[in-house]
Every structure is written in structure tokens, then in C-alpha cells.
Amino acid sequence: MVAADFVVVANRLPVDRVEGPDGEVGWRTSPGGLVAALEPMMRNVNGAWVGWAGQPDAEMEPFENGGINLIPVPLSASEVAEYYEGFANDTIWPLYHDVIAPPQYHREWWDAYVTVNRRFAEAAVAAVAQDGTVWVHDYQLQLVPQMVRELRPDVTIGYFHHIPFPAHGLYAQLPWRDQVLRGLLGADVIGFQRAQDATYFLTAVRRRLRYEVKGSHVTVVENGGATRTAVARAFPISIDTAPYIELAQREDVKARAAEIRASLGNPARILLGVDRLDYTKGIRHRIKAYGELLAEGRLKVEDVTLVQVASPSRERVDAYVHLRDEIELAVSRINGDTDTMGHTAIRYLHQGYPREEMVALYLAADVMLVTALRDGMNLVAKEYVATRADNRGVLVLSEFTGAADELRQAVRVNPHDIEGVKDAIMTAVEMSPAEQSRRMRSLRRRVLDNDVDAWSSSFLKALAEVHSR
Ligand code: G6P
């Protein structure tokens, strides 16, 4: 493969390798917001994407898929357990999401994280052309920027953090807090979702490393005493709006939305939740609030249905196993108490769906419930808004998501406040069409004017500016 001027490095490739029952190999779109946001940009540039194919012990040659050059990085079964399920998703993920679940600190996990980060850095360095650009993504790879810089000082390095960065009082728990900051500061530009995340990061840099920080500029002191500038600031990510708008206009997708409504018994209001099954998403809080509204008679099962899509995620990490049990118990209790033969309170789907079906669901939903306890951005909120071309529908949005900084006309909630969530659901269910339309118009303007192209362009522009200095 020829050297690429532009290399993206992320834990996951845009597609996962899947093996069928007879051992035949297929490819499936990878889960999560990161892949959804990066894929459209990569289709338009001549670059390479370095990542893991989602299966342990799969040694693969570089290949092309959907017009993108993919460079697989192998992970052994023990590295999947210690680097991916362990350090990335049972140490960093809960710590950075405000310790909603207790983070586990294990030295062997950290060692695996260092080893695997080095492998990704080496793969990136092998792929990138002289004076090229490497753009590293997300919390699984926080050491890669510094590792790339040490191996290849000619390369321009960007890093984007898709999840929250925690307040210093929490970050300081991390036994490897200084190493992680130095790893990130290997980048020329370190991008975050919210201004608050960048501020927390800069505070940690000042307090732990004692580097000079002026506005968003950090004076990084290299080994040997030389200095250079790194920039840390917010670049709120978005979605590729075009395919959502197109699908929402397609007659077959509209027909599917009507079919979904009919199969639920044509309730007056459909509420929708769409999340990876993750404890950060506030699925339990949402279900509790909804269940109480039914129990109190403020909502009637004949009139409303909550569709909850909870796509399977990180199923071998304990916190996720427990969460699934809790949610499924809560769902079946509420359904058992309130369902009639013809109507269900909650249609719960522990499955992932293709985009067509998701858009049909968005079109069918009168109210979209995004009640995350903490979320870097939450692209589901933006997807819902993008599909609502008729300006109908209500977005209920947690103030603890990155999206809340931008989507000011949503019905805002504090998901910890169950009475508040109940009132927000009632406000949404009872909102007049005129009020829906006033709010949705402004939400749509915001999402359509700031799509994922605007995000990647502004990040890459900032990167070019720093480098040319
Ligand atoms: C979030 C993270 C991504 C991650 C995705 C899916 O969006 O920011 O980095 O890829 O969740 O999680 P998974 O562990 O399946 O990759």
C-alpha cells in the first residue's frame, strides 16, 4: 500500500469482521457514534484508517471497504480482555463519565494499554507519508499522539476525544494521570466535545504537569527542554445530515414508519429511546419515570408506547451484564403491571438496526427521549432532529450531554431528577403542534448548519494553523 498523506487511527475500523455459522466471513458496520461521524469524511479523502476489526486473534492484510483503505491492527484475546474491556471500558470509560460505575484500576490492564497503544502508533507511522497527518481518535488511544511524535517528528498530529473529560477531582484518581496527559499532549491539536471538557483538561495539565496554559494554548516542555505549542479546545461533533434527510423523504421509509405505528396499535403518542445498552445513557431513569407516570394514571397504556432500542454493547464487562439484568427486570415489571392484550407499555428491543429502520423509527416517534447521565455528544439527538422535516416531534434532552450546549430548544432535563423527567415527558406529550414546530425549526437549523463536514473542516483547519506556526 502506498504511504497515505492522511491517516485516521481509531480503536475500531468502520466495519467489524463477523463469522457466520459455516465460517464464512462478512462485514458489519461498527457500533457507536465515532464510526458514524468519521466514515463520511474518510470516504471523501484519500487516506487510510488504522483500527481493530472487532474480533480477537484475527491477523489480516490491509484491504478496501466502501472506498476506504483499512489497515487492521490485531488484538489477542488477552489484549481484548485487558486493554479493550479492561483499561478502556472498565477504567477510563467509567472514570471519564463521572464514575457512574466504579472504575477498576489494575496495573496489568495499564501495561496492556501501553502495549496496544504502541502497536497502533507503529501501524500509523508505517502508513503515513513524509510530512503527512495522523488524526488519532478517542480514549482507547490516549498515548498514541506522543508515541507517533517520538517515532516521526515530521508528522502533524491531531487527537479528538469523543467522550467527556472529567473534572480534576475525579481525574486525579487515575494512577497513570501524568502519563495520559503527556500522551495526549503529543498532539498539535487536542479536540473535545464541549468547552467544559477542554477546560477540565487544561486544568489537569496546569496542576499536574505545571505547564504554562494561556487560553487554549499549552507550552509543552519536551525531554531536553525544548518547547512547542499544543492547542486544546472544543470542536462539537455532528452527523452527516444528508442521508438522514434523504431517507426521511423516501416513500418506503415513510410507509415503514406508518407500519411501525400500526403494529404498536396506533397509540396517540410514541416515545422513543435509542441507545447502546450503557449505564451512561440513563435508560433506567427514563424507564422509571415512564413507569411511574403509568402507575399514577398520568399516562394510559392505550394512548402511549415507549419503544426502547438498546443495542448490545461490551457484553463481557460486568457493569454491562448487571445493567442489562436491571433494565430487563424493570421493563418486564412495568409491562406485566400495565399491558393489555392489544397495547404494550414498553416495546424493548435488545438489537441493532440498519439506518433505514432507525429513520423509520425516528419518523414514527412523537417524542425522542435522550436522558444520558453523561454523554460526550449524543448523536442520536441530532439524527432525530435531522429527520423531522415536517418540524413535528419533541426532543427531550439531558443537560449532561454535549448536544445540550447546542440544542437549546429541546425540553431539557436533569435525568437524576425523576419528578423532573416525568414533568418533561408530560410537557412533550402534551405540547401543541405550534410549539413543537417553533422549537423543531430552530433545532433543525442548528443541526443542518453544523454537520460533520463543518466539524472535520474546523478541526483540520486548526491543525494546519498550529503546524504552520
Ligand atoms: C462510543 C465511543 C467510541 C466507541 C463506541 C462503541 O461512541 O466514543 O469510541 O467505539 O462508543 O463502543 P465499542 O466499545 O463497541 O467500540
pLDDT tens-digit series, residues 263-308: 999 999 999 999 999 999 999 999 999 999 999 999 999 999 999 9
- Ligand 1 centroid to Cα of residue 201, in Å, is 21
pLDDT category at 468 given cuts 50, 70, 90 is confident
pLDDT of residue 6: 96
Mean pLDDT of the chain: 96
pLDDT of residue 152: 98
What is the widest separation between alpha-carbon atoms in the chain? 74
Choose the residue to mutate in 49, 275, 313 for probing ligand 1, maximizing ligand atoms within 8 Å of C-beta. Answer: 313
pLDDT of residue 417: 98
pLDDT of residue 37: 84
Which of 22-26, 55-59, 61-65, 332-336 has the largest mean confidence?
Answer: 332-336
CA distance 204 to 177: 9
Q: Whose CA is nearest to atom 5 of ligand 1?
A: 32
3-state SS, 346-382, equals EEEECCCCCHHHHHHHHHHCCEEEECCCCECCCHHHH
3-state SS, 212-261, equals EEECCEEEEECCCCCEEEEEEEECCCCCCHHHHHHHHHCHHHHHHHHHHH
pLDDT at 56 over 80: yes
Q: Whose CA is nearest to atom 11 of ligand 1?
A: 32
pLDDT category at 422 given cuts 50, 70, 90 is very high
- Tell me the percentage of the chain whose pLDDT exceeds 70: 100
pLDDT at 67 over 90: no
- Ligand 1 centroid to Cα of residue 33, in Å, is 7
pLDDT at 366 over 80: yes
Beta bridge partners of 217: 214, 231
pLDDT digits (tens, 9 = 90+) for 94-142: 999 999 999 999 999 999 999 999 999 999 999 999 999 999 999 999 9
pLDDT digits (tens, 9 = 90+) for 376-386: 999 999 999 99
- Ligand 1 centroid to Cα of residue 397, in Å, is 21
pLDDT at 444 over 90: yes
pLDDT of residue 32: 80
pLDDT of residue 42: 87
What is the dihedral sign for C-alpha 295, 297, 302, 304? negative
CA distance 413 to 420: 7
pLDDT at 1 over 90: no
Q: How far is CA 372 from the centre of its chain?
A: 12
Which atom from ligand 1 is nearest to the alpha carbon of 84?
14
Which atom from ligand 1 is nearest to the alpha carbon of 376?
8
Beta bridge partners of 275: 310
pLDDT of residue 315: 98
Which atom from ligand 1 is nearest to the alpha carbon of 89?
14
Mean pLDDT of 230-238: 98
pLDDT category at 251 given cuts 50, 70, 90 is very high
pLDDT digits (tens, 9 = 90+) for 319-351: 999 999 999 999 999 999 999 999 999 999 999
pLDDT digits (tens, 9 = 90+) for 162-177: 999 999 999 999 999 9
Choose the residue to mutate in 140, 276, 317 for probing ligand 1, maximizing ligand atoms within 8 Å of C-beta. Answer: 276
Task: Classify residue 393 as exposed, middle or buried by CB count within 10 Å of its CB (0-12, 13-18, 19+).
Answer: buried
Q: Whose CA is nearest to atom 4 of ligand 1?
A: 32
Q: Is the ipTM of this complex over 0.95?
A: yes
User: Comparing 21-30, 262-271, 424-433, which segment has the lowest mean pLDDT?
Assistant: 21-30
- Within 6 A (CB) of ligand 1 lie 11-12, 31-34, 89, 138, 162-163, 313-314
- Ligand 1 centroid to Cα of residue 101, in Å, is 17
Mean pLDDT of 422-443: 98
- Ligand 1 centroid to Cα of residue 31, in Å, is 7
CA–CA–CA angle 233, 235, 238 (5° rounding): 165
pLDDT of residue 2: 80
Q: Whose CA is nearest to atom 3 of ligand 1?
A: 34
3-state SS, the chain, equals CCCEEEEEEEEECCEEEEECCCCCEEEEECCCHHHHHHHHHHHCCCCEEEEECCCCCCCCCCEEECCEEEEECCCCHHHHHHHHHHHHHHHHHHHHCCCCCCCCCCHHHHHHHHHHHHHHHHHHHHHEEEEEEEEEECHHHCCHHHHHHHHCCCCEEEEECCCCCCCHHHHCCCCCHHHHHHHHCCCCEEEECCHHHHHHHHHHHHHHHCCEEECCEEEEECCCCCEEEEEEEECCCCCCHHHHHHHHHCHHHHHHHHHHHHHCCCCCEEEEEEEECCHHHCHHHHHHHHHHHHHCCCCCCCCEEEEEEEECCCCCCHHHHHHHHHHHHHHHHHHHHHCCCCCCCEEEECCCCCHHHHHHHHHHCCEEEECCCCECCCHHHHHHHHHCCCCCCEEEEECCECHHHHCCCCEEECCCCHHHHHHHHHHHHHCCHHHHHHHHHHHHHHHHHCCHHHHHHHHHHHHHHHHHC
Q: Whose CA is nearest to atom 6 of ligand 1?
A: 32
- Ligand 1 centroid to Cα of residue 16, in Å, is 12
CA distance 322 to 325: 5
CA distance 27 to 14: 10
